[in-house]
A and B are shown apart, each in its own frame.
Chain A
């Protein structure tokens, strides 16, 4: 099936004092109808920048240096600002980590969701909004409409945000760290909700997270990001059971949820994500990679692999551990 939303060779940088920070470099990625795509990596690797680019909401100071973002094949950057605004929210909707920051504290939930739907098309009646709140598992939706954001728990606010996004009947729902601010039980409930939605929502879902458990529970396909690049793209089972990129392996290995308890010390990756304003000459992961050699330090790797893509000089020659 063809891609619903795709980015092709996308590069984005931020202007910073004294230079530019290359937040995305040559990123190619697509999501198909009915699919849940996960984007994972340590913080600072460009996940949120990619999510924002996908919905055409890059912050001030960000420049698209090249590449395309296509919605059903059409390059979004060549659309009029009006059409772009129409797409935002209606074709592609977004849910953020802490919905509190997205809400106005002095307006009721019902008023805000209605305003939101109004801004993106037609103002929906409260009954329709209440029905959607019920759909996302809010008990007593009528009462919820009259409440203020601070009166709801983090989990309930996240449900309202998801409901507001879904009311736009988007083709693509992008959720940036939707469970990061929640505790395990709420996280499990939101994962469950997103799974249930996917069954009767024929669009695509993109989940951005640094939590591997969320990826494993929810996604079909995963892109692993490191220092602004997609370093591995694979079906979820392949990534967890046969990771090919040294960074993917390291990330999976140090997750305290994976490591068998009682081992005392956990593996670590050592070092950290390089400064994206002064990137190294070769592979961006070389300083932390156990397999790095002279070639890695001088020349950047290119995407390799059949059926899945791995950005590593050694991708073809490596034997699984």
Chain B
């Protein structure tokens, strides 16, 4: 079956800025990932890892400098209309992404106007869309600033659903929401997927969200995929030290499980100063000499997973000792 979205060796460079230089800065390097029909894939990584750039490149909002984007088997090549008609973006800051002077009813039906599609009964369409995200019809007359955070997020979802997309790209869909509202948004995403066969590319640094919505996880570091695989396997036994650090850094909602040490120090280095060798070596707790000079490749590590680390294989072997013995 063809994937809904297929990124093949996608690269994005951005101009360095300044008058005298034409130099360009690599932001995304050789990113390949695919999202199957009805599948939910999470893209994770710290701020600055390139998640938003990837979402923008997929939606054609940022030009790509290498590789290609395939939507339902066809290459997206300058012709963005089909992609934008069938894929929708859910923005991180729901309230700010909604134009303040327009009513909710107008906003959720706006995609029809943008794409010049027939809209015989706007009020009825608005009502249906709002109902799908669990909002009462009266909300249609309100303005964005009159909505709570959770309501604004739902309006964002309703708008994304207007044209019956097959893919929703959601950038931090629960950021800044209370846990009670986060749970509602996650349930809504779950229902839409079950009911409409929607596929998601969810961009987040919230691992709790990943565990609940994603079938597969793609971990980005400095614009490169460092690990990729099924969610349950990755959380059970991360193959890449960066993934392991992210999981360990998550605060545990249980005072009896406080962690004493710090899982990961420092911050993502600037894209202006990419470290040599393995780009994670400056923060990696398991760094060895080889890592400082030689960049590792993204290689299969079993279980349908890939990792970009010289020693991922050895760790996987240790984690699945019996497994390894059986196969040798």
Partner-B contacts on A (CB < 8 A): 42-43, 139, 153-156, 180, 183-189, 191-192, 210-214, 216-217, 219, 236-237, 240-241, 250-252, 254-259, 261-262, 264-269, 272
In the complex, per-residue mask of B173-184: 1 if CB is within 8 Å of any chain A CB, else 0: 010101110111
| A213 interface neighbour in B150, B182, B251, Cβ under 8 Å | B251
Beyond A216-B258, A265-B187, whether A255 also contacts B179 by CB under 8 A is yes
Are the CB atoms of B46 and A237 closer together than 8 Å? no
In the assembled complex, the Cα of A217 lies from the Cα of B256 at a distance in Å of 9
- Of the A-B pairs whose beta carbons lie under 8 Å apart in the complex, a sample of 11, sorted by A's number, is A185-B246, A188-B250, A192-B262, A210-B178, A213-B251, A240-B255, A255-B208, A261-B231, A261-B232, A267-B183, A272-B150
Asked if B79 is at the interface (CB within 8 A of a chain A CB), the reply is no
Which chain B residue lies CB-closest to A41? B178
Are the CB atoms of B212 and A256 closer together than 8 Å? yes
| B249 interface neighbour in A187, A252, A266, A269, Cβ under 8 Å | A187
Q: Separation in Å of the B294 CB from the closest CB of chain A?
A: 25
Beyond A42-B180, A189-B262, A265-B190, whether A256 also contacts B209 by CB under 8 A is yes
In the assembled complex, the Cα of A261 lies from the Cα of B231 at a distance in Å of 10
Total A-B contacts with CB atoms under 8 angstroms apart: 128
Are the CB atoms of A255 and B245 closer together than 8 Å? no
Q: Which of B53-61, B67-75, B109-117, B263-271 contacts A (4 or more CB under 8 A)?
A: B263-271
In the complex, per-residue mask of B88-113: 1 if CB is within 8 Å of any chain A CB, else 0: 00000000000000000000000000
Asked if B211 is at the interface (CB within 8 A of a chain A CB), the reply is yes
5 closest pairs, A vs B, by CB? A213-B251, A266-B183, A188-B249, A261-B211, A256-B208
Q: Separation in Å of the A239 CB from the closest CB of chain B?
A: 8
Q: Separation in Å of the A96 CB from the closest CB of chain B?
A: 15
Beyond A256-B179, A266-B186, A266-B187, whether A184 also contacts B249 by CB under 8 A is yes
> Which chain B residues numbered 174 to 205 have a C-beta less than 8 Å away from chain A?
174, 176, 178-180, 182-184, 186-187, 190, 205
* Chain B residues positioned under 8 Å from A240 (CB to CB): 253-256
Q: Separation in Å of the B214 CB from the closest CB of chain A?
A: 10
Which chain A residue lies CB-closest to B266? A139
In the assembled complex, the Cα of A283 lies from the Cα of B235 at a distance in Å of 41
Asked if B149 is at the interface (CB within 8 A of a chain A CB), the reply is yes
Asked if B140 is at the interface (CB within 8 A of a chain A CB), the reply is no
Q: Separation in Å of the A155 CB from the closest CB of chain B?
A: 6
In the assembled complex, the Cα of A268 lies from the Cα of B209 at a distance in Å of 15
- The count of residues in chain B whose C-beta lies closer than 8 Å to any C-beta of chain A is 46
Are the CB atoms of B47 and A183 closer together than 8 Å? yes
Q: Separation in Å of the A209 CB from the closest CB of chain B?
A: 10
Which chain A residue lies CB-closest to B191? A265
Q: Separation in Å of the B243 CB from the closest CB of chain A?
A: 12
Beyond A256-B182, A265-B190, A267-B183, whether A217 also contacts B251 by CB under 8 A is yes
Asked if B207 is at the interface (CB within 8 A of a chain A CB), the reply is yes
Beyond A43-B178, A217-B258, whether A185 also contacts B253 by CB under 8 A is no
Which chain A residue lies CB-closest to B251? A213
Q: Separation in Å of the A15 CB from the closest CB of chain B?
A: 20
Interface centre among A139, A155, A254, by most B CB within 10 Å? A254
Q: Separation in Å of the B238 CB from the closest CB of chain A?
A: 14
Q: Separation in Å of the A211 CB from the closest CB of chain B?
A: 7
In the assembled complex, the Cα of A187 lies from the Cα of B207 at a distance in Å of 13
Are the CB atoms of A155 and B267 closer together than 8 Å? yes
Beyond A188-B263, A216-B254, A217-B252, whether A183 also contacts B183 by CB under 8 A is no
| B207 interface neighbour in A155, A184, A186, A262, Cβ under 8 Å | A184
Besides A156-B267, A259-B183, 11 more A-B contacts (Cβ < 8 Å) are A43-B149, A184-B207, A187-B249, A188-B251, A188-B262, A216-B255, A216-B258, A250-B180, A251-B179, A256-B212, A262-B232
